[in-house]
Every structure is written in C-alpha cells, then in structure tokens.
C-alpha cells in the first residue's frame, strides 16, 4: 500500500458537486492498493500513520501524533499512486489492484484507522470521480509505502 499523507487544517471530498466528507485539523490520506497488499499491510500502515509525530507541540516542534491531538482523518482511494512512468509518456497502472482486491483492503484500512482513533473516518467513494479540497498545514506531506518498511 502506498500513501501520501498531508497534515491539514481542513479537507473535503465532493462527488457530483456534493460534499461527501469533510474534516477539520488532521490528516488527508491518499491510498493506493496493489495486487500484493494484505491485511498485514493495512494494520502496519494504519498504526504507523496514527502514531506519526507530525503535529506541533507548544514549542512548535513536531512531537505530537494524530492520536495526541485527537485529529480527524479523510481517506481517498488513489490507484494512480502506483503509476509506472519508466517507458513512454502514458503512465501504466498495472500494479494497482483491481476492485475485487482493493475495495476490501480499502474498507479494512478505514476500519483499522477507526479502531485506533475511536472516531469516524471520512472517506471518498472507491472508484468515483472525486474533487478533493484541502488546506495543507505546514505544508507537511509524507509518503509511506508498506512494502518499504524493512
């Protein structure tokens, strides 16, 4: 699983000009799922994300986690995170998992995040044409790939 994590002051996702989910201070997480991802990737990634110390403490140092500040989460499925651009100018998405694999893992990721935070997790709609708005705080943007954890 690949993620782009953005610390935000606020974020929202709209589908057909209607807001589906919105959050205030917290994390916007773009997640791409590949064929080889498993429940182990889901759990490792969810735990890693909620414990990342990327929020400022009273001394303006990034020492606090999402759990520490009781921040919110918005998760958006993003198969394009697995784009291969080595050959030609048209990206290939061959590593991205098909919906039959990706949807259950995406839903498990939402559940795992909810289990760690004990709060509702905002989300887009898997496979939908979505418009995402955010106010990036910092900016702080971090990429994590569950396959690069070793």
Q: Is 80 a catalytic residue?
A: yes
3: nearest Cα among 92, 106, 128, 103: 106
Among residues 80, 85, 117, 141, the one annotated as catalytic is: 80
DSSP state of 121: -
Residue with tokens 């048209």: 90
| Cα pseudo-dihedral 125, 128, 133, 134, rounded to 10 | 50
Residues with a catalytic annotation lie at: 80
């Amino acid at each position: 699983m690949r993620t782009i994590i953005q610390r935000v002051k606020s974020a929202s996702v709209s589908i057909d000009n209607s807001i589906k989910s919105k959050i205030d201070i917290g994390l916007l997480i773009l997640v791409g799922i590949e064929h080889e991802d498993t429940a182990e990737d889901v759990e490792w990634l969810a735990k890693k994300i909620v414990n990342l110390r990327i929020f400022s403490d009273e001394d303006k140092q990034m020492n606090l986690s999402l759990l520490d500040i009781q921040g919110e989460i918005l998760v958006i499925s993003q198969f394009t995170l697995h784009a291969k651009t080595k050959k030609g100018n048209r990206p290939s998405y061959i590593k991205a998992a098909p919906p039959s694999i990706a949807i259950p893992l995406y839903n498990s990721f939402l559940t795992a995040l909810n289990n760690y935070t004990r709060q509702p997790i905002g989300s887009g709609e898997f496979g939908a044409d979505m418009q995402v708005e955010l106010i990036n705080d910092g900016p702080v943007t971090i990429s994590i790939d569950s396959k690069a954890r070793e």
